Amino acid sequence: MPKIIKGTEVVDDAWVIIDKDFEGQLPIGKLLLLPMQYWLDNREKLNLTVAGIWIDSDESVELVGHEANLFPLIAVNFPIFTDGRGFSIARLLRERYEFNGQLRAIGNPIQDQLFYLKRCGFTSFDLKEGTNLEAAISSLDDFDKSYQGAIIPPEPLFILNSLENN
């Protein structure tokens, strides 16, 4: 079974990612990560208790919008590590649409991005095969302070400093 980082642990991943160009019968009895467009086209006949969706970096999260909390898991695809649109998708899901489920980075996120992915609200990370996941966990805490507010922590550094000094 493939492994991912979830929170601060390496765990087995039971989710099966369905490709964008998938046609045919979906696997039965599996946890499925469906392409967002597949879900939009077929949502009336799908069982959401065993489905999450994944959003490609060039897709509009607004198409899911306030329905995001129907899913236990939403994954965001990073097709190449230089494509940062997934960071914005995560912030929109967490802040605008108040998604409170598991948010996973898939595709090509790299270890150097983990700290920033976590700050944007990602809670699990599917890194490239061959990555030392135990070593990658330490990257979640590469820095101990951030100037800007984010999902984690929501307050900017100047607010945190003034709270500590009072």
pTM of the model: 0.85
Dump pLDDT digits (tens) for 146-160. Answer: 555 566 665 655 555
User: Minimal CA–CA distance to 103: which of 55, 39, 38, 32?
Assistant: 55
Distance CA 48, CA 151 (A): 26
What is the DSSP annotation of 51-104?
EEEEE-TTS-GGGTGGGGGG-SEEEEEESSTT-THHHHHHHIIIIIS---SEEE
- In the predicted model, what is the mean pLDDT of residues 14-28? 91
What is the DSSP annotation of 16-46?
EEPPTT--SPPPSSSEEEEEHHHHHHHGGG-
Q: Is 29 exposed, middle or buried (0-12, 13-18, 19+ CB in 10 A)?
A: exposed
Tell me the average pLDDT of the chain.
87
pLDDT at 28: 84
Sketch the domain layout of the chain as residue ranges. Answer: 3-165
Residue 29 pLDDT grade (very low, low, confident, very high; cuts 50, 70, 90): confident
Contact indicator for 142, 115 with CB cutoff of 8 Å = yes
Fold assignment, 3-165: Rossmann fold (3.40.50)
Dump pLDDT digits (tens) for 77-119. Answer: 999 988 999 999 999 999 999 999 999 999 999 899 999 899 8
